[in-house]
Amino acid sequence: MRLRAVVSSVALLLALGLVLGLAGSGVAQQKVLKIGMSLPVTGADADGADAIAKGAQMAIDEINAKGGVAGYKLEGVLYDSATPAAGQYDPAQAATNYKKFIADAMVLAAVGPVMSGEGKAISPIISEADFATITPSSTNPDITDPKFKSQYRPKGKAVYFRNVTTDAYQGPNMANYLFHQVKVKSVYVLDDGGAFGVGIADSFERRAKELGIKVLGRDRLDPKEADYKTILTKIKGLNPDGLYYGGVMQAAAKLAPQSFEIMPKVVKAGSDGVYDLSWPQQSGKEAIEGWYCSQASPELVTDPKLEAWVTKFKTTMKREPTNYSITAYNAVLVIADATDRLVKAKKPVNRSNLRDAIQATKLTSIQGAIAYDENGDITNRTVSIYQWQDAKLKPLGAAPQK
């Protein structure tokens, strides 16, 4: 009796779904182009990822409000790339997400990933499918470096495009800034063990040595560990001028208060991994006071020319934008622009043609001109420096390139 009730209600639901499905497909006249978004919207870096997701969504909404692009309605498909087990982004999850994008014939390109560790995991997968992705924030240079071509793009063509510059500039430029402007003579370098953190700490360390900054040591934080007193006590014993941290929020949330307690006077600097608006709330504003950080893009959010954009973002998305909201917004514009050019040239809109069109991008955008070199790297290589002052990020201008 009970079984029959279950069976009949399941059948009813199925029938209902079928009717709705048919009705739905009858209404949809316009062609749909899906844009994949694989972002760590939970986990320790959720706030940064949320700012990025909303930047991309705003571009999608704006384009659809104008009737879409060249006959296509854009649709974002958002998958979370963080897992509870990792507590932050998870490269394996990112790879799964991109495999899902590739399995869906309607998804023609993607915005993401946020983290370089994810980028390393997905790049060979998308290369095989000629599937272009545009990252709003991942900066590890290896992924697009021709030296590692066989590893990250076995099919040869660039598929990993960036709207930010790489850590080949971000890390070294922070070293330049600390040396020239802050007059730091000795540093200790820490990373968080992630692909991004290790890479940027390496590039910072190399440049610091070239400049003649004494590198007193290098160690690695476990982001899941609660207690960093051991390493901080060791560093205090070495008496450095500065501490550089290459990594993202999970470790930074604990590093800031504990380093403030143990060595309040040491100059502390990080990368865009600690350009995170939730940091004061996670670590306490007094603990992060004075920390330097960077962005692998020009400073945009406080740019007077972008005031209207920022206001619109705040009202529609109900949060503060970051610079990477803007690079994500532009990633969607690049995909839309490439689609438009394909349709105008009467070429079929498929993954491989879209990749070629993205490669040929010459777009004037709110972050300046966007064009990519043959490896997918953006040609504008500005890195901006910031300092945390009273729980706010104060822009200090572009970092010296030398």
Partner 1 sequence: MNIYEVLLQQVINGIALGMMYALLALGFTMVYGIIELINFAHFSVFMSGTFIGLTVLQLMGFATARPSGGLALVGSLILVFLVTMTATGLLGVLIERICLRPLRGVSGTAPMITTIGVAFILINIALLTWGPQAQRFPQLLPNWRWEVGKADVTFKQLMLCATGLILMLALNYLVKKTALGKAMRATAQDADAAQMMGVDVDRIIMLTFFIGSALAGAGSLFFGFYYGFTGYYIGYTTGLRAFTSAVLGGIGNIPGAVFGGLLIGLIQSLGGQLLEVKWTDVIIFSILILVMVFRPTGLFGMQTPQKA
| Shortest Å distance, C-beta 117 to partner 1 | 17
| Shortest Å distance, C-beta 42 to partner 1 | 5
- The 277-296 site mask, x for binding partner 1 (CB under 8 A), equals -x--xxxx------------
Selected from 47, 142, 205, 241, the binder of partner 1 by CB under 8 A is 47
| Shortest Å distance, C-beta 137 to partner 1 | 18
Residue 147 or 318 with smaller CB distance to partner 1: 318
Selected from 31, 155, 185, 224, the binder of partner 1 by CB under 8 A is 224
> Is 46 one of the binding residues for partner 1 (CB under 8 A)?
yes
Selected from 226, 304, 344, 346, the binder of partner 1 by CB under 8 A is 226
Selected from 230, 302, 316, 401, the binder of partner 1 by CB under 8 A is 230
Selected from 237, 315, 318, 348, the binder of partner 1 by CB under 8 A is 237
| Shortest Å distance, C-beta 274 to partner 1 | 13
> Is 24 one of the binding residues for partner 1 (CB under 8 A)?
no
| Shortest Å distance, C-beta 308 to partner 1 | 31
> Is 239 one of the binding residues for partner 1 (CB under 8 A)?
yes
> Is 221 one of the binding residues for partner 1 (CB under 8 A)?
yes
Residue 43 or 113 with smaller CB distance to partner 1: 43
> Is 319 one of the binding residues for partner 1 (CB under 8 A)?
no
44 residue type, one letter: A
209 residue type, one letter: K
> Is 186 one of the binding residues for partner 1 (CB under 8 A)?
no
| Shortest Å distance, C-beta 254 to partner 1 | 6
> Exposure pattern of 274-289 as b/e (b: 16+ CB <10 Å)?
bbbbbbbebbeeebbb
> Is 198 one of the binding residues for partner 1 (CB under 8 A)?
no
SS (H, E, C) 360-378: CCCEEECCEEECECCCCCE
| Rounded Cα–Cα distance for residues 217 and 201 (Å) | 12
Contact window for partner 1 (CB under 8 A) among 69-77, 81-89, 130-138, 360-368: 81-89
Selected from 84, 212, 304, 348, the binder of partner 1 by CB under 8 A is 84
Q: Measured at the alpha carbon of residue 91, what is the angle toward residues 87 and 97, in degrees to the nearest 5?
A: 105
Rounded to the nearest 10°, the torsion over CA 244, 246, 247, 253 is 0
Q: Which residues contact 62 (CB under 8 A, 6 or more apart)?
A: none
Selected from 175, 208, 231, 333, the binder of partner 1 by CB under 8 A is 231
> Is 274 one of the binding residues for partner 1 (CB under 8 A)?
no
> Is 233 one of the binding residues for partner 1 (CB under 8 A)?
yes
Q: Is 391 exposed, middle or buried (0-12, 13-18, 19+ CB in 10 A)?
A: middle
Can you give the binding site for partner 1, defined by CB under 8 A? Answer: 42-44, 46-47, 82, 84, 87-88, 193, 219-222, 224-227, 229-231, 233-234, 236-237, 239, 249-250, 253-254, 257-258, 278, 281-284
